[in-house]
Amino acid sequence: MSEKTIPILPCRTIQPVLDFYMALGFEVTFQQRSPNPYAAVQRGGIQLHFFGMRHYEPAESFSTCLIQTDDVDKLHETFRTRLKATYGRAPVRGLPRIGPLKNTSHGVRQFLMTDPGGNCIRIGQQTSDDQHHRPAPKETFARAVHHASLLADSKEDLAGAAKIIDRALRLQDERPTPVQLLQLLVLRADVATRVGDEEAARSAIAAATAVHLTSEERESVHDDLQRLTQLLG
């Protein structure tokens, strides 16, 4: 026996969704307009199907699926490059959008991508056999990074993430290490960019750029520095 699962995801209209996936390098393998709008796309081993719903609201969608890959870094780079070529930038807010590449607290390296239909595509590579969420650190700033990252990238609660980061940065009796400070500032800039708060984004980017790190520290925050470069560009 041989089985496979193919997600069937909703959208208001089919064509903008197909245009998005074709920009990413997918091929449209099937499309019909009646008796109901329906289409399928494929890129390598990834297959996604879509159906149209006239009164569907993409901005309120909870539809999601998981794509597992053995090279998430390459896929993220490819998708960002293709989206930038199509839209003039890699969109980070609104619909469609693509999120940053990060190591999660449950043993997966992943990024989130949301298509014009409001479907959140979680693309990840397993980095640990233990798929349970790691407990939050006890140290103040490591804990803030942990919880803010969860809110921003797993729950997409950007306001909640910003509140945690701002509270941590206002502390007077404790100070973060340079690495922790950079992580907090880059995440704050990312969150601000995703909600369209340009002033807060510029402030956090400027502060993050001014953080001095040793070569060893820079290596430990490679993803954060890469995200900072993306935000600067």
Query: For position 122, which CATH number holds?
Result: 3.10.180.10
pLDDT of amino acid 34: 92
pLDDT at 134 over 90: no
Q: What is the pLDDT of residues 60-79, one digit of tens each?
A: 999 999 999 999 999 999 99
Residues 113 and 219 in one domain: no
Residues 114 and 146 in one domain: no
Residues 144 and 202 in one domain: yes
Q: How many domains does the chain have?
A: 2
Residues 203 and 109 in one domain: no
**Cα distance between residue 151 and residue 145, in whole Å:** 10
| The last residue of a domain, from among 74, 91, 126 | 126
**Cα distance between residue 174 and residue 169, in whole Å:** 9
Cα angle for residues 149, 180, 221 (degrees, 5° grid): 80
SS (H, E, C) the chain: CCCCCCCEEEECCHHHHHHHHHHCCCEEEEEECCCCCEEEEEECCEEEEEEECCCCCHHHCCCEEEEECCCHHHHHHHHHHHHHHHHCCCCCCCCCEECCCEECCCCEEEEEEECCCCCEEEEEEECCCCCCCCCCCCCHHHHHHHHHHHHHHCCCCHHHHHHHHHHHHCCCCCCCCHHHHHHHHHHHHHHHHHHCCHHHHHHHHHHHHCCCCCHHHHHHCHHHHHHHHHHHC
Residues 88 and 28 in one domain: yes
Residues 97 and 160 in one domain: no
- Domain membership flag for residue 151: yes
**Cα distance between residue 159 and residue 172, in whole Å:** 23
**Which residue segment(s) compose the domain that 84 sits in?**
8-126
Q: What is the pLDDT of residues 161-207, one digit of tens each?
A: 999 999 999 999 999 999 999 999 999 999 999 999 999 999 999 99
Residues 112 and 198 in one domain: no
84-88, 106-110, 116-120, 152-156: which has the minimum mean pLDDT?
152-156
The answer for residues whose C-beta is within 8 angstroms of residue 35's C-beta and 6 or more apart is none
Q: 177-209 in b/e burial notation, b at 16+ Cβ within 10 A?
A: eebbbbbbbbbbbbbbbbeebeebbeebbebbe
Residue 49, beta-bridge partner list: 8, 40
- Domain membership flag for residue 133: no
Which pTM value belongs to this model?
0.89
- Domain membership flag for residue 45: yes
- Domain membership flag for residue 177: yes
Average pLDDT over residues 35-46: 96
pLDDT of amino acid 180: 98
Residues 117 and 166 in one domain: no
Residues 161 and 107 in one domain: no
| The last residue of a domain, from among 95, 126, 157 | 126
Q: What is the pLDDT of residues 135-163, one digit of tens each?
A: 999 999 999 999 999 999 888 899 999 99
Residues 26 and 119 in one domain: yes
pLDDT at 133 over 90: no
Residues 213 and 104 in one domain: no
- Domain membership flag for residue 79: yes
pLDDT of amino acid 15: 97
- Domain membership flag for residue 134: no
Residues 122 and 162 in one domain: no
pLDDT of amino acid 139: 97
pLDDT at 233 over 90: no
